[in-house]
Amino acid sequence: MKYVVMALAALITTSAIAGNSDYVDPFIGTSNFGATHPGAQYPNALASVSPFNVAHGGEHNPTKKDDAWNSRGYISENGFLTGFSHLNLSGVGCPEAGVMLLMPTTGELSLEASEYGTTYSNETAKPGYYRTTLDKYGITAEVTSTLRTGLSRYTFPEGQSHILMNLGLGLTNETGGMVKVVSNTEIEGMRNIGTFCYHPEDVRPVYFVARFSKPAESYGVWKRMPAYKNVEADWISYNDTIKPYHNYLAPMAGDDVGTWFSFNTRQGEQIQVKVGISFVSIENARANLDTEQPAFDFNTVQVNAQKAWDSYLNRVNVKGEHADKVKFYTALYHTLIHPNIFQDANGDYPLNGAHGVGNSGGKNRYTVYSLWDTNRNVHPLLSLLYPELQEEMVNSAIAMAKESGWLPKWELYGMETEVMVGDPATAMIADTYLRGIQDFDVDAAYIAMQRAADQKNDNLLRPENADYLALGYVPFDDEGPYDGSVSTSLEYYVADFSLAQLARVLGKQEDHQRYLNRAMKYKTLFDSKTGMLRPKNRKGEWLTPYDPELGRNFEPAPGYIEGNAWNYRFYVPFDTPGLIGLLGGEEAFIEALDATFDTGNFDMANEPDITYPFLYNFVQGKEYRTGERVHELINEHFLTTPGGIPGNDDTGTLSAWLVFSMMGIYPVSPGVMDYAVFTPSFSEITISLNDNIYEGKKLVIKKGSNGAHTFNGKPLRTPFISHNELTGGGELTLH
């Protein structure tokens, strides 16, 4: 096998720590387009250190946008490693980051990745630690990390050895970097990133400082020199020659630059390299390094990283089969990677959507908000298990609105990418407040939400708002192949419903009714002949011809984003009873729900339909089908293998689905405080609640053998339980 089971990881550490991190397998999700990585990651950290491998035996043309190279920095099936990147994303669907690659080599110096890259073996990974053997060189490479820094430890054979920092490689669509040798133990520089999902947002530099535990005996920088192949053409192709500059101390900038340090090493000699990063400046990167790693102490950094993970993962304890624990804690681990802290050790961070630097004043400022995905379950999960984190994340989102004028949609490193549709921050923030997490400027949040909801034109979050406000839906007249008029409308309805619920608890009754009326206009898109939520034009005419199956293979489907009509058929999570009525009653609803699964039109990897297994709870006498469907999906799609996530994890969204599902509870909709309940995967789950925010101290969920669901000994009247009840603490028994 390519990787070593997690139990063996303790053999290579100097200090074993008992905790739920022992069950985490970071290799899960590194295949089957899961897009996770097995590298060393601190909870919600800015920095991470991950192996970077490539397809096609190491072939790489920097001018070619090759999906196999660019979509993921690490793929389990690939076997050619070209370094260890220090800024990485987990479970995203587009290329970004994967930059600042360190690579140890031996023998004759080579600066071409396809030449110095190597196969690797004996992989081991656990939270905060990764190790492998570089086959070509006999080098053992180990990496760990802190919040803003990475640390590598390379064990070399005897002879000539090198450590390279390559700023040309990466996943990002942007190029350009700078490197400078400061001394024979330190380098500094920057690398551009940006254009996520090929959207033309700003380019953002990330800065770094790297220090070596041993002085280099020689060093240099390199630059790949472009050559015009055709003087009449306007494109550049790179030649095969990289120009080295030995003992060069001036800054070197370009699209493909790097540096190397060379050493004479003894057999088994270890050299450590620590890298600090910052989105503000080189000086801040250096300060981050000084603050978080004042010494070269690999074992201590690793132990601290594992302790940090256990401090979160130990908040939930489960009793059950080992394989189920591996699934559960790995999924929980993946939900705690994003969003990431963005501020430096001194509090500095780049302002959102603007030039300049802000300061967090001792609080955490977060980045990487994939809200189209995560508003559905990641943030409700954080609200339940880690409300102190969710509170900070909401505060960061509101601060973004104060700086840029808009709440985030898909914010990345201080840039709004505008990826996907809808107004998900409104749903996320309203849902958080309703769950009792309220230590944030709700008035500022409400103003920003209203701007998104009510501004007709030049609306960054709701660009189709003029039509939506006039018609009650987004028409398909002007949409391109992927715009998704129905999908966009449904996301607006969810946001308006959530805003209506927030308005109600804030005592804004007129606003509550106005936004609720908007949300209920989803009914204008219901087509009684097909039973689908169907695209309409501005005249109110149905899209014709119409194929509800179109889009199931991600081909363009007028009206729908990343799916087909079936995937969106029940996506009115705040009013499932109303949708049941439109479909002709409970029997017809169950028939349609069954058909979604039985015809292969349910997509476990597609966010809009991941609530569908829980909808059986809305029909009396059919509640048992929820548990059946959920456990079928868990067993079929979630495995303890690299392909164990059924597609892109979307910064923890599929993992959050698994965590909730294995606990036997699931939030039915943003803005709705009820969880659907069903049979859990474990005999007992104990959650230590944050009693600074919630009334209860512990919530225990037990699997019963028969009878009714009970909470604190009393039968539940419906197969739902409220967030307020759960966070009051007690014992929930589910059958």
Q: In the structure encoding, which two tokens stand for residue 366, read together?
A: 């977060």
Q: How far apart are CA 443 and CA 244, in angstroms?
A: 57
Distance CA 283, CA 273 (A): 18
Q: Is 522 helix (H, G, I), strand (E, B) or coil?
A: helix
Over 50: is that where the pLDDT of 61 sits? Answer: no
Q: Cis peptide leading into 339, omega within 30 of 0?
A: yes
**What burial class does residue 323 get, using C-beta atoms within 10 Å of its C-beta: 0-12 exposed, 13-18 middle, 19+ buried?**
exposed
Angle between helices 378-385 and 322-335 (to 10 degrees): 100
589-606 in b/e form (b: 16+ CB < 10 A) is bbebbeebbeeebbbbbb
Residue 264 has pLDDT above 80, yes or no: yes
DSSP β-ladder status, 366-367 and 340-341: antiparallel
- Please report the pLDDT score of residue 232 as a whole number: 55
Average pLDDT along the chain: 93
Q: Any idea which residue has 């380019």 for tokens?
A: 203
Encoding tokens for residue 606?
Answer: 């597609």
Prediction pTM value: 0.94
Instruction: Report the C-alpha gap between 469 and 159 in whole angstroms.
Output: 71
Q: What is the mean pLDDT of residues 278-296?
A: 98
Q: Where are the domains of the chain?
A: 6-312
**Parallel, antiparallel, or unpaired for β 415-416 and 665-667?**
unpaired
The C-alpha angle with vertex 55 and arms to 49 and 57, in degrees rounded to 5, equals 110
At 120, list the tokens: 């690797």
Does an H or E element contain 181, and which? strand 177-183
pLDDT at 57: 35
The least confident of 35-44, 76-85, 550-559, 606-615 is 550-559
What is the C-alpha separation between 510 and 397, in angstroms, rounded?
A: 26
If phi over 0 gives left and psi between -120 and 50 gives alpha, with beta otherwise, what is residue 562? left
> Do 534 and 527 contact (CB within 8 A), yes or no?
yes
H-only helix segments in 123-223: none
My answer on whether omega of the bond before 545 falls inside 30° of 0, hence cis, is: yes
Residue 197 φ then ψ, to 5°: 55, 25
Q: What is the pLDDT of residues 396-410, one digit of tens each?
A: 999 999 999 999 999
Strand order in the sheet with 129-134: 120-126, 129-134, 139-145, 149-155, 270-278, 204-212, 186-193, 177-183, 252-254
pLDDT band, very low/low/confident/very high, at 574 (cuts 50, 70, 90) = very high
Architecture of the domain delimited by 6-312: Distorted Sandwich (2.70)
Q: What is the pLDDT of residue 553?
A: 81
Considering only 16-30, 130-144, 252-266, 388-402, which range has the smallest mean pLDDT?
16-30
Say if residues 101 and 82 touch (Cβ distance below 8 Å): yes
Helices within 169-297 (DSSP H only): 282-292
Whole-angstrom Cα distance, residue 556 to residue 516?
31
Q: Determine the pLDDT at residue 724.
A: 98
H/E/C letters for each residue in 640-669? CCCCCCCCCCCCCHHHHHHHHHHHCEEECC
Partner residues linked to 675 by β-bridges = 667, 721
Identify the band that residue 10 occupies on the pLDDT scale cut at 50, 70 and 90.
very low
The pLDDT tens digits for 685-711 are: 999 999 999 999 999 999 998 889 999
Q: What is the pLDDT of residue 7?
A: 35
What length does the chain have? 735
pLDDT in tens, 64-108: 333 333 457 899 999 999 999 999 999 999 999 999 999 999 999
Residues 89 and 99 sit within 8 Å (Cβ to Cβ): no
Angstrom distances, CA of residue 591 to CA of 527, 571, 596: 17, 16, 9
pLDDT in tens, 439-460: 999 999 999 999 999 999 999 9
**DSSP secondary structure letters along 423-481:** -HHHHHHHHHHHTT---S-HHHHHHHHHHHHH--SS-SS-TTHHHHHHHSS--STT--T
Residue 247's pLDDT is 94
> Any idea what DSSP says for residue 256?
S
Residue found by looking up tokens 């074993």 in the block:
16
**Mean pLDDT on 37-64:** 75
Neighbours of 183 (CB within 10 A): 12
pLDDT reading at 238 higher than 50: no
